[in-house]
Amino acid sequence: MQINRSYAAAAVLMGLTVGLHIFGGGPEIHDPIRASALPDVVRAIGSVLWHAVTWMLILMAVALGWLSLRRDPALFVIVAAMQVGFAALFVFYGWTLLGTLWETPQWVIFSVIPVVMFFGLWQDKRSA
């Protein structure tokens, strides 16, 4: 089976998202939480959650790379569901807590990647 370029593109987008999360989100979100006067346990759990999300993003990038080489319907569904779930969380909390989606624009990339994935699925089904 040949490389699915849409899945490969989704993997690259996810890899870029990991970079943005680490190098953009770290200083903007994680560092201020760590430097805050919040209780130590809240700061510690905040760090655990930050790094857990980092790990999940890395795993999604790896999974998308894997999918570009080998078809795995269950893995496809899991990664797409995670992406849609992340997008929904950013939309929900952007609207309900901030009154705008543009303070939490992460929903855009988490919406685009599943679209690219489904385009790749469509390509696979069309060429089968």
Which tens digits make up the pLDDT trace of 100-116?
A: 999 999 999 999 999 99
Contact 58, 18 (CB under 8 A): yes
> Is 74 exposed, middle or buried (CB count within 10 Å of its CB: 0-12, 13-18, 19+)?
exposed
Looking at the predicted structure, is the pLDDT value of residue 68 above 90?
yes
pLDDT of residue 128: 73
CB atoms within 10 A of CB 99: 8
- pTM here is 0.93
pLDDT of residue 127: 85
Looking at the predicted structure, is the pLDDT value of residue 21 above 90?
yes
Contact 56, 82 (CB under 8 A): yes
Spatial distance between the Cα atoms of 116 and 83, rounded to a whole number of angstroms: 11
